[in-house]
Structure 1
């Protein structure tokens, strides 16, 4: 990116912290960066992985209508790593850093969009720190992780394999899925992320000329998914989500193999004030596959919930 860099190391200073470009500050010795693009109501976007670099989530179609604040999650850059790296990156810790960032932006309330693992973080933040949120977009998320989630993903990958049986690229995709459990380095993380990516689109091989550069640009850092004491950050939000008061938009691609329609329907049923968008021609990357439909739905949700929060304003 060639955007200007704004160093905001002092206290929050209102609109300065929403000026276009890259911003950075320190919290407890950890550098937090975020990147501002676009104009309009503020929407903070938290990318997935964990450990995938933020820029795959750039959404130019949304930037035409919203001020997009793309979080660079801690751990993805060397100077943003915890002393316990690659461990300790729990939802609670991501949420605490999100709270600091949102408070610095100098607006009464923001919308929070989380993609993939970022959707798990966004749900947690909306459940535990909702005060500054006007709405939350859970984009390719789920209410649980663990064996049940893994079994559903396995079923979806099997369906993908059956659909593409005989394609010369399929063995490499399946090998990358098989290598997931053995990841222990940045290089392996990048290799697996690129390896599985064709299954993350509704029709990667049918549009490979356009999508291959996106795949080639993926960068990632290895993050273990374990807390500092090496315990897993296990997720089951089902009971808590029934009490979520923040307005929610749930977005899913019909062909997503990782956090597919089953989980989006469940999220929508659990959350009292939610709306569901199923992108019929997308996998896990609807902002790339159906950008206008995706952006229109998020924009309308943000504008609608901003109006309801602002009242006569």
Structure 2
């Protein structure tokens, strides 16, 4: 039998899939068990999530969520991109792929989508990797972000990068178009990378290549799409790996530990030298840990 990764929906390269009248783009790289990856934001384009080390161990299927990159937009854009919509699109993509079950990796906001999918559509998943995610957002989440930003400001007081980073954080509530979204997404990178402050040079190309689309976080009627999975997660039956970076200011160790406590039988990986991008900052450890989890939970 031919290797399924050499043809069809898992052939190396770029693909499209029509779902609910929208064309979704996805990209396949690597070899091994299939792992679908959902990027963060919402609105950050998929490329930043690529991991050469993961692709040596797994067949990575990187989805471009609706509204971003080459995927189509809703008629209600920038509204309407709810977790239910993203999960429905994931369901169609997974049904399109040869394996009956896949592993799902969600980063940051993509982690919110991944845990929603694991709660509501568990039969599609052999396992879920919640990478820099959190069980809920709201006042507690906002307060923790302010605390972590305060720690960052104290740690790097007097550093020439600090004023621009703090200005970027202040821009968060004002994002209302793609241009601002891209500027903020790039400007926040120093706060999201633990080693950036000592030597930015390895990260400049990554920073400049970051692309983003403004996604409002509101439903099609302009109402917030709330995130609070604390009641549902203790009933989760899907094997889970929770990954957090020690220096992540947005979805850090507090939330990783809370997810780990909530999800029965979950594994916890704290990347001690990483911020928000552990798949790049501690690439080998991240990839080895994810691949080990996939091998152990595959079925």
Contact 1:15 1:105 in 2 (8 A): no
For residues 35-87 of structure 1, give each alpha carbon's deviation from its aligned partner in whole angstroms, at most 9, with x where no partner exists.
Answer: 00000000000000000000000011010010000011110136510000000
In the alignment, which residue of structure 2 is the partner of 1:268? 260
Query: Alignment partner for residue 47 of structure 1, among 15, 39, 46?
Result: 39
1:217 aligns with one of 203, 206, 209: 209
Structure 1-normalised TM-score? 0.92
SS in structure 1 of the partner of residue 214 of structure 2 = coil
The CA RMSD over aligned residues, in Å, is 1.3
1:206 positional shift: 1.5
Equivalents in 2 of 1:81, 1:132: separation in Å?
25
Structure 1's unaligned 5+ residue stretches are 1-13
Which residue of the partner structure matches residue 287 of structure 1? 279
Are 2:269 and 1:249 equivalent residues in the alignment? no
**Residues of 1 paired with 2:96 and 2:34: CA distance?**
12
In structure 2, what is the equivalent of residue 147 of structure 1?
Answer: 139
Match of 1:237 in 2: 229
Give unpaired runs (5+ residues) of structure 2.
1-5
Paired residues for 1:100-111 under 5 Å = 100-111=92-103
User: TM-score by structure 2 length?
Assistant: 0.97
Which residue is equivalent to 1:81? 73
Q: Provide the C-alpha distance between the structure 2 equivalents of 1:31 and 1:201, rounded to a whole number of angstroms.
A: 33
Query: Which string of whole-angstrom CA distances, capped at 9 and with x for unpartnered residues, describes residues 253-311 of structure 1?
Result: 000000010000000000002000000000000011000000000000001111xx2xx
Rounded to whole Å, the distance in 2 between the matches of 1:265 and 1:28 is 37
Aligned partners of 1:240, 1:30: CA distance in 2, in Å? 30
Q: Distance in 2 between matches of 1:115 and 1:158?
A: 24
Q: Which runs of 4+ in 1 moved over 3 A?
A: none
1:185 aligns with: 177
Deviation for aligned residue 1:226: 0.4
- In structure 2, do the counterparts of structure 1 residues 286 and 79 end up closer, same or farther at CA, with 3 Å as the change threshold? closer
